[in-house]
A and B are shown apart, each in its own frame.
Chain A
Amino acid sequence: MDTPLIEFRDVSKSFGSRTVLNKIDLKIHEGHITTIIGKSGIGKSVLLKHIIGLLAPDEGDILFQGVPLSRMKKSEWDSYRSNISYMFQNNALFDSLTIFDNIALPLRQTTNLNSKEIEKKVMLRVEQTELNEVVYKYPSELSGGMQKRAALARALVTDPEIVLFDEPTTGQDPIRKNAILSMIAQYKRKFNFTAIVISHEIPDIFFISDRIILLWEGKIGFQGTYEEAIELHHPMVDELLYSLEGFQDELTGLLSKQTFRARYETALSRTRKKKTVTAVLFNMNLDILSEALGHTASLEVVKSLGDYINTHLDALGGFSARQSRDQILTILPHVDIEETEEMIEEFSSGLEEKWMAKICVWSSSEDSLKLSIFAGITVASSGEDIESIIDKARNNQKIIASIDCKHWR
């Protein structure tokens, strides 16, 4: 296997008599979004601060591409540091500087860019984080959410290769929370940086994460993918996931993934004879939408789709949950596949009519937005897990609604 980008080997850290990290071994791979989860005060931020050198381990080694940080030459250390950016939990914005100056600070101090180039880079980030109206205000004049976005803009302005996010979405409303996560995911694809994120936003954070690391009482409780964590059925992992994930998805108002799983199992057990249920996977391309509408408006679309599905399919005894950033899976225990197909046709014509105006109003760009909503219908039977249902439904996917803002205009 490839050398991990960052590796912790037997790392321990204590503050006085309190051991926060106890012989930790973990690996972070290049190009991945790795999420660190764990209870409050367990040492997640401490772990992150070790990576950037704000804290040094009492014991053990931290390696970057196989080279221990403690044995790096000054030039290697400088080069390592120049590729990392850190977004603080409490934002750490300079309260005597405007938002513009805060974002421009690393460029002014560590690069030789002229003021026009700096302004261009800063304003790009300002637009992406929707801070245009407050760019010349001071941090204390901004809401907590805006301060968070300003800190995010500052962390990304230097185009780093590794970005450490210490609770980037705390204090945000569900739309903005997901907008920030979408932004992280999109930037990660665009610039291919490696992201290490501390977050409690379950399940939203899992939609963008490649790997999760569970920190538990100073040790690594689990490291792997979300699916592996769910499959593991480890009491410690389950306890944490249940405690952090609510019953509802904040963004769409649909069920949380955990609750959905539980409802799915119950629904199957109640179908006495056939032991099958009908499943519909709704899907759209969120990236196209984000490019056209921006992160916040595109999530309004996802939210609105969730509302629409909820309103129409709940009445039939169905239940739904977001399975990824732009996929919603609905289980209809009391409707067979033919009825479902008819119903989806009806559902989709209404969707086109009601939605077109809404989405096209959000799309202010001159380029006309073309968006397709897909749906795949399948039958799920006892013993099938959610992932295989999603795969089956994806194979049956077809366009159920097309929205072209050119025609609307």
Chain B
Amino acid sequence: MKSLIDKLGNRAIVLINNLGSTAIFFGRGFIMIFRPKQLAPVIHQIYHIGTRSTNIVIMVGFFTGMVLGLQLYYELIKFGSEGVLGAAVALSLIRELGPVLTAIMITARAGSSMTAEIGIQRISEQIDALYTMRIDPIRFLISPRIAASIISFPILTVFFDLVGIVGGYFTGVVLLGVNSGVYIHRVHASVEMVDINGGFIKALVFAIIVSTICCYQGYFTHMRKDSYGAKSVSLSTTSAVVTSCIMILIADYVVTAFLM
């Protein structure tokens, strides 16, 4: 019993330590965004994190909208309410699915590569080399990724939402015969600024979570006690993706609770 409590206690200490160091890591990374010579690397990272994720986000957004349209249509028609399909699809996407699925897609595509790239730079002493050249590794490697994520996540979420609404339109109007004018009118009438702001806030929170966790896991890959070298990079990458996804869902609940 005592050893169980010891283990739980140790786990709790490790967790709190990790949370603390992650917060400090983010804080330092965020402040360094505003240092000189950061514009070019931020733009470079926006290309990698944002631009190159556009295709996958659009594709997932479109099919998510289509599935939503299909599912909701068959439920709503039972009550003769298929006219509100546009509102249901748009609100589901803007409030919840858009920010969450976009964040998860970017985690899978760009977050994992962030961890792997930084992890490899760590184990091959490239980060130490930066230090010896008096280049702050946090400023050079982490800040541009955090900044690029903060910029890219909301924009990609908007793409996801728009394409998702188009996907819902395609299923509801083109395939299942819902009136086009009604669909568009319901979207327009039901979506309020507070919904859009909520989606933006979530996208920003997820951007911070994903970029911080993925960079942190890569940056401290050499501190892992369960593995070394390439193995530690692969485990850090897995850990970054899993932790980010879990944290996205937890944060989604917390933010929603605050917004409601």
In the complex, what residues of A have CB within 8 A of residue B131's CB? 52-54
User: 9 A-B Cβ contacts within 8 A?
Assistant: A88-B132, A92-B124, A92-B126, A92-B129, A94-B126, A94-B129, A95-B124, A108-B37, A109-B37
Evaluate contact between B133 and A90: CB separation under 8 angstroms: no
Q: Given B37, B121, B128, B134, which contacts A106 in the complex, CB threshold below 8 Å?
A: B134
In the complex, what residues of B have CB within 8 A of residue A92's CB? 124-126, 128-129
In the complex, what residues of A have CB within 8 A of residue B125's CB? 88, 90, 92
B residues contacting the other copy or chain, number (CB 8 A): 14
Q: Given B121, B124, B134, B140, which contacts A82 in the complex, CB threshold below 8 Å?
A: B134
* Bound CA span A119–B218, Å: 32
* Bound CA span A158–B124, Å: 22
A interface secondary structure, majority = mixed
* Bound CA span A95–B132, Å: 17
> A-facing mask of B113-128, CB < 8 A → 1, else 0?
0000100010011101
Q: Is A327 an interface residue (CB 8 A)?
A: no
Q: Is A86 an interface residue (CB 8 A)?
A: yes
With both beta carbons as reference points, the residue of chain B lying nearest to A110 in the complex is identified as: B134
* Bound CA span A96–B116, Å: 13
In the complex, what residues of A have CB within 8 A of residue B134's CB? 78, 81-82, 106, 109-110
Q: Is B31 an interface residue (CB 8 A)?
A: no
Evaluate contact between B135 and A109: CB separation under 8 angstroms: yes
Evaluate contact between A106 and B126: CB separation under 8 angstroms: no
| Contact-size category for A | 20 to 34
* Bound CA span A95–B140, Å: 15
Number of A-B contacts (CB under 8 A): 50
Q: Is A134 an interface residue (CB 8 A)?
A: no
* Bound CA span A54–B222, Å: 14
> B-facing mask of A317-340, CB < 8 A → 1, else 0?
000000000000000000000000
* Bound CA span A110–B162, Å: 43
- 4 extra A-B contacts, CB within 8 A, seeds A85-B133, A88-B132: A90-B124, A93-B126, A109-B140, A110-B133
Q: Which residues from chain A sit less than 8 Å from chain B, CB to CB?
A: 49, 52-54, 78, 81-82, 84-86, 88, 90, 92-96, 105-106, 108-110, 154, 158
In the complex, what residues of A have CB within 8 A of residue B132's CB? 52, 54, 84-86, 88
In the complex, what residues of A have CB within 8 A of residue B128's CB? 49, 54, 88, 92
B232–chain A nearest beta-carbon distance, Å: 16
Evaluate contact between A110 and B129: CB separation under 8 angstroms: no
In the complex, what residues of B have CB within 8 A of residue A85's CB? 132-133
In the complex, what residues of A have CB within 8 A of residue B126's CB? 92-95
With both beta carbons as reference points, the residue of chain B lying nearest to A84 in the complex is identified as: B132
In the complex, what residues of B have CB within 8 A of residue A52's CB? 131-132
Evaluate contact between A88 and B135: CB separation under 8 angstroms: no
Evaluate contact between B37 and A88: CB separation under 8 angstroms: no
A401–chain B nearest beta-carbon distance, Å: 46
Q: Contacts A88-B129, A92-B129: A106 and B135 contacting too (C-beta < 8 A)?
A: yes
* Bound CA span A154–B130, Å: 11
A94–chain B nearest beta-carbon distance, Å: 6
With both beta carbons as reference points, the residue of chain A lying nearest to B127 in the complex is identified as: A92
In the complex, what residues of B have CB within 8 A of residue A53's CB? 131
In the complex, what residues of B have CB within 8 A of residue A78's CB? 134
A112–chain B nearest beta-carbon distance, Å: 9
